[in-house]
Amino acid sequence: MNSITPQITAKPIAGALGAVIQGVGPLAEATDATIARIRELWLQHSVIFFRDQPLPPKEFVTFARRFGDVVHYPFLKGLDEAPEVITVAKLENERVNFGGLWHTDTAYLDQPPMATMLVARDVPPFGGDTLFASSYAAYDALSEGMKQLLEGLKAVNSSAKAEKTRTREDRKAGEERKVIEAEHPVVRTHPETGRKALYVNGGHTLRFAGMSEEESAGLLEYLFEHQTRPEFTCRFSWEPGSIAFWDNRCALHNPVNDYHGHRRIMHRVTLAGDTPR
């Protein structure tokens, strides 16, 4: 266990990314120094987790704002009491879960979110874990020849590619849903750490800029498979009041859909990002 202060500790859960943060006390009462330490740990581990922090929606937003500006998800309505918070739900009678494939959040926006926070409200008796993968580790493991090939390439990311994971809330507004697309570098430099990350994802990346989908398919499929190799990943099991806080600029995630017949209710907020470079 790596001690950061006598109170705050980070317990890594895998080699590539992910750590459980302990000793912070109630997050609603965190001092500025505690927030600064949490941010350092988040940048170090790409995704961090807290246990037993059942922040109500308004307090959840207040906590998130201490790390950046909170932004609205483009396709779902937020809670009445906290419009910045959306509900991520799968009910007992449903088979499709929200965002049920490897992806980074809303990569089809010109400025995708810097980060996402998710707090568990109601979890199934088994299953419902979330997988995370390090885009840093994926880039670092590429050959020098592949790195040279990808340098300077851009990819087109589209909201239309995520149609197969639409939830019941999405489907209600299906006729009005518009397609959003954005081009981003295939290799992204993190604005805070300076590290390079492989910035494509199977949920949104459609093709390379200037190429057709057919021409792009072979290399993209290789990259999608490469970036989720087991050694680049970690797995988190939820409990009510658990919080995950991930860096959308260098980590992918995939909620595992293995709890049919049970409900899973989460609340999510996203933090504003910059233009990938």
- Residue 252 C-beta-side C-alpha neighbours within 13 Å: 33
Distances (CA, A) of 127 to 105, 202, 259: 22, 22, 5
Cα–Cα distance for residue pair 62/127, rounded to 1 Å: 30
* Catalytic site positions: 103, 105, 253, 268
Collapsing DSSP states into helix, strand and coil, what is residue 156? Answer: strand
Estimate the share of the chain in helix, then strand, then coil, as percent rounded to the nearest 5.
25, 30, 45
Q: Which helix (DSSP H) or strand (DSSP E) does residue 187 occupy?
A: strand 187-189
* Other CB atoms within 10 A of residue 116 CB: 22
